[in-house]
């Protein structure tokens, strides 16, 4: 039976709405995903010396205008290397000036954190591995309140470890084990994290040396981890976002290595070390500088 005029008009209106809804849905599905809240723009770079600036870096706030510190195989004291502590990772410093370097051995069941007090004295704090904890000690990140220190493990991981900050937290002593206090549970796996630093009380920026790119659709990503609360003695969760790929530029072809990261809250500058492949490790490895866009 043919439609009456009124019903025909209602049918045409419904058809138009369906067409419009379909077009809107198609447009939305084709739109790019929302960008991360923070974007970091490269603003410059400095050559990274392969012996003394190839593992990590840290800005030290005190004494006022204190120096930027770097680590590399050439910064390991002979007294440490002869005792087996032959790898140093990405360091960090508390806001009151305690500077901390992470060390590892080729084997064993412990890690070591070398701490320099603001007055210049050095001390060593040993952490006995927790059950299932990996041996590597690639980086440390001190919380803005100074009381807690985050560290991570090599490989594909869904957690970060929280320890009391040696030399700052009153519960720590060079003569006692530095225990794990809690865990950051990540909502997305990360791979081969080489450095992290706090840019805010609950925000970490991390460099990943991921060579595969399957986790975030890119190799060597700069990651942001937003914590559900400030780290402490209780577990917290962490939301992981890939912000961008780190620069991979060199006169040589081959595998780059993303290394340590530092966020200087005095200037808002983020710095990340990227080591060049092959012979160019000597000539054009860089510490890249970024500012938030």
pLDDT digits over 184-240, tens only?
999 999 999 999 999 999 999 999 999 999 999 999 999 999 999 999 999 999 999
Give the helix, strand, coil percentages of the chain, each rounded to 5. Answer: 15, 40, 45
Structure-model confidence comparison of residues 32 and 1, the more confident one = 1
pLDDT of residue 61: 80
Closest C-alpha to 92, from 166, 157, 161, 158? 166
Does domain 36-292 fall under CATH 2.120.10? My reply is yes
**Exposed e or buried b for every residue in 128-157, given b needs 16+ CB within 10 A?**
eeeeebeebbbbbbbbbbbbbbbbbbbeeb
pTM, rounded to two decimals: 0.86
Phi, psi (rounded to 5 degrees) for 175: -90, 0
According to DSSP, the β-strands at 236-245 and 221-227 are antiparallel
Which of the four pLDDT bands, split at 50, 70 and 90, describes residue 15? very low
Which of the four pLDDT bands, split at 50, 70 and 90, describes residue 254? very high
pLDDT of residue 38: 62
Answer whether 158's CB lies under 8 Å from 143's CB. Answer: no
Mind listing the pLDDT tens digit for each residue in 116-170?
999 999 999 999 999 999 999 999 999 999 999 999 999 999 999 999 999 999 9
Mind listing the pLDDT tens digit for each residue in 29-55?
333 333 344 689 999 999 999 999 999
pLDDT of residue 245: 98
pLDDT at 2 over 50: no
pLDDT of residue 65: 57
Looking at residue 74, the DSSP 8-state letter turns out to be G
CA distance 28 to 282: 48
Neighbour count for residue 160 (Cβ, 10 Å): 26
Mind listing the pLDDT tens digit for each residue in 81-109?
999 999 999 999 999 999 999 999 999 99
CA distance 245 to 213: 10
pLDDT at 75 over 80: yes
């Amino acid at each position: 039976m043919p439609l009456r005029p009124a019903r025909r008009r209602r049918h045409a209106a419904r058809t138009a709405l369906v067409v419009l809804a379909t077009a809107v849905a198609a447009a939305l599905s084709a739109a790019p995903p929302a960008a991360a809240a923070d974007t970091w723009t490269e603003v410059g770079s400095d050559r990274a010396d392969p012996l003394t600036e190839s593992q990590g870096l840290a800005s030290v706030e005190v004494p006022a205008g204190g120096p930027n510190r770097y680590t590399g195989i050439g910064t390991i004291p002979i007294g440490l290397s002869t005792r087996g502590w032959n790898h140093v990772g990405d360091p960090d410093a508390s806001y009151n000036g305690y500077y901390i370097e992470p060390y590892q051995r080729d084997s064993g069941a412990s890690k070591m954190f070398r701490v320099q007090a603001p007055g210049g004295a050095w001390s060593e704090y040993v952490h006995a591995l927790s059950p299932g904890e990996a041996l590597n000690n690639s980086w440390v990140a001190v919380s803005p309140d100074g009381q807690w220190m985050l560290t991570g493990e090599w490989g594909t991981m869904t957690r970060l470890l929280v320890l009391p900050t040696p030399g700052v937290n009153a519960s720590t002593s060079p003569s006692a084990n530095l225990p794990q206090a809690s865990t950051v549970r990540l909502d997305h796996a990360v791979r081969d994290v080489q450095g992290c630093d706090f840019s805010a009380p609950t925000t970490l920026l991390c460099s990943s040396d991921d060579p595969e790119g399957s986790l975030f659709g890119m190799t060597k990503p700069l990651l942001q981890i937003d914590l559900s609360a400030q780290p402490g003695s209780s577990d917290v969760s962490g939301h992981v976002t890939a912000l961008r790929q780190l620069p991979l530029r060199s006169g040589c072809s081959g595998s780059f290595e993303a290394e340590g990261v530092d966020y200087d809250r005095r200037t808002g500058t983020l710095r990340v070390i990227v080591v060049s492949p092959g012979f160019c490790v000597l000539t054009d490895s860089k510490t890249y500088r970024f500012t938030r866009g």
